[in-house]
Amino acid sequence: MTGSGSTYVQGIVDATGVWPAVNQIEAHLLLPQDDLVAYCKEHNVHITAYSPLGNNVFGKPKLTNYPEVQAIAQKLGATTAQVLIAWGVYRGYSVIPKSVQQERIVSNFKQVELSAEDYEALFSDRQEGPDAVQHPEVSATTNPKVK
Ligand SMILES: NC(=O)c1ccc[n+]([C@@H]2O[C@H](COP(=O)([O-])OP(=O)(O)OC[C@H]3O[C@@H](n4cnc5c(N)ncnc54)[C@H](OP(=O)(O)O)[C@@H]3O)[C@@H](O)[C@H]2O)c1
């Protein structure tokens, strides 16, 4: 299933008796969806994060331009997109960036690993500040401990 908050997941379970295998949801630095991620993990529903580079966010700078993302990318010798992808991987789910450019497709597949320190540095107060994105079903929360 896709884009489903816990109420919808539970509705599927109640109606069919079957837990979905995968929930594909928008998730990135400005929309971490901690509560939904934790709920899915608790019930063994795999998360796949779409728009991990923040392509679905309008009226805000591109996530690849955020200074803290650029700082970690520079530190790791990585691209900013690789850092944003690694942020999702660090949180324990699969991530599906999209590009129409061959060199970006190739480089987006190259995994870099964030340390806990890198992850915390990325998990700034943007999630609760004016940059935060409110999901229609599940508000972004601020628990940086989801892993
Ligand atoms: N299940 C759903 O409801 C749902 C909803 C939305 C999206 N999705 C899927 O999720 C995937 C990704 O979503 P998305 O396209 O919305 O967002 P995204 O992957 O967060 O962002 C894509 C944007 O980032 C650019 N980009 C890609 N690699 C880059 C890099 N290395 N450096 C800088 N910019 C880069 C792309 O431009 P270029 O193409 O020019 O490189 C494009 O403008 C797609 O496969 C889409 O089908 C699923």
- Within 8 A by CB and 6+ apart from 41, the residues are 47, 92
Q: What is the CB neighbour count within 10 angstroms for residue 143?
A: 12
List ligand 1's pocket residues with C-beta within 6 A. 2-3, 24, 50-56, 64, 79, 81, 96-101, 104, 107-108
Q: Whose CA is nearest to atom 10 of ligand 1?
A: 50
Residue 55 alpha carbon to ligand 1 centre in Å: 6
**What is the domain partition of the chain in residue ranges?**
6-125
The pLDDT of residue 129: 56
Atom 39 in ligand 1: which residue has the minimum CA distance? 99
Give the CATH number of domain 6-125. 3.20.20.100
Q: Is the pLDDT of residue 142 over 50?
A: no
Check residue 1 and give its pLDDT: 95
- What's the confidence (pLDDT) of residue 92? 95
Query: If you measure from the C-alpha of residue 84 to the centroid of ligand 1, how many angstroms do you get, rounded to a whole number?
Result: 12
The three-point CA angle 127-82-98 to 5° equals 90
| DSSP symbols for 65-116 | G-HHHHHHHHHHT--HHHHHHHHHHHTTSEEE---SSHHHHHHHHS-----H
Kindly report the backbone phi and psi dihedral angles of residue 50, in degrees, each rounded to the nearest multiple of 5, phi listed first. Answer: -100, 165
Please give the distance, rounded to the nearest whole angstrom, from the Cα atom of residue 61 to the centre of ligand 1.
Answer: 15
pTM surpassing 0.85? yes
Q: For 14-58, how does the pLDDT look when each residue is reduced to its tens digit (9 = 90+)?
A: 999 999 999 999 999 999 999 999 999 999 999 999 999 988 788
